Amino acid sequence: MTWSTTDDVHAFLAAAGGFLTADPVANTALLTEAAYLAAWPDDDPDQRYGWWQPDGDAVAGAFLRAPRHKPILSTLPDDALPGLARLDPKLPPLGIDGRLAEAAVAAWREVGVELAERSRVRLYRLDRLRAPMPPPGRPRVADEGDRDLLVSWYEALMAAHPDDPSDRAYVVDDPLAEGGITLWEVDGVPVAMAGRSRVVAGMTRLSAVYAPEDPRHGDAAFVAACAAAQRVADDVLVFADATDHAADGAYLRWGFVPVLDRVTIG
């Protein structure tokens, strides 16, 4: 058996952390989830972690199922997938590198489960930031005094995206504690926010952006957050719906380059 599993995120990181941090860009999804769960433990039984280690060799693949989230797989060799499908035929729907989607579909078909692509997101890496002329205002780092406002914005975000299972601690409290939320202010009043994940292995990923009144404020907060992220991380990343041409155009203009696609199959 080359797959090992646990419900302990710390045991998972002890076993698979070195493998994941060797390629923090490709493995950003697992690294950010695992770092968050290690810092903010969740006793929900609906969590599972696994790593693939061929006999006598180093770890070469991993998966993570965070509470209330679909499982996500790291980069891994095609031949690791049949064993995972046999280990847990009911694991899907799952998120996987788009280059492995066909191999995953074939692996689960062998155990009697038919899968198909449900959605696709594109990962971008910031190459050289090209900041546009911002609207009136200025950025600043959010602090604890902004928490009530940020919580209200989080609740508005979740109401607008009811299928998003992101926890309040993930969107607000963890990045707030790490100095990872940038506000855009006009005349001293916050009008937008942009958050980022913890820095793990020199990588951070931009996440929640919210501007209740003017999308230009959201863009300004995002670009300012990118500039702040570059000061603390080697790799600054962001995901976007692969079919969102407006987002794709904006990221390319601001200096991001596409890296890979991740797909949800189920």
The predicted-structure confidence for 96-147, as pLDDT tens digits, reads as follows 999 999 999 999 999 999 999 999 999 999 999 999 999 999 999 999 999 9
Say how far apart CA 43 and CA 49 lie, in whole Å.
Answer: 14
Contact of 92 with 215, CB cutoff 8 Å: no
Residue 9 pLDDT greater than 70, yes or no: yes
Q: Which helix (H) or strand (E) holds 194?
A: strand 189-196
Interval 161-212: pLDDT, tens = 888 889 999 999 999 999 999 999 999 999 999 999 999 999 999 999 999 9
The mean of the pLDDT values for the chain is 96
Superfamily designation of domain 125-257: Gcn5-related N-acetyltransferase (GNAT) (3.40.630.30)
Check whether 1 has a pLDDT greater than 80.
no
- pTM for this structure? 0.95
For the chain, percent of residues with pLDDT exceeding 90: 92
Domain ranges of the chain: 3-115, 125-257
- 228 by Cβ neighbours in 10 Å (0-12 / 13-18 / 19+) ranks as buried
* Strand locations in 66-137 (E): 72-73, 94-97, 117-126
**How high is the pLDDT of residue 49?**
97
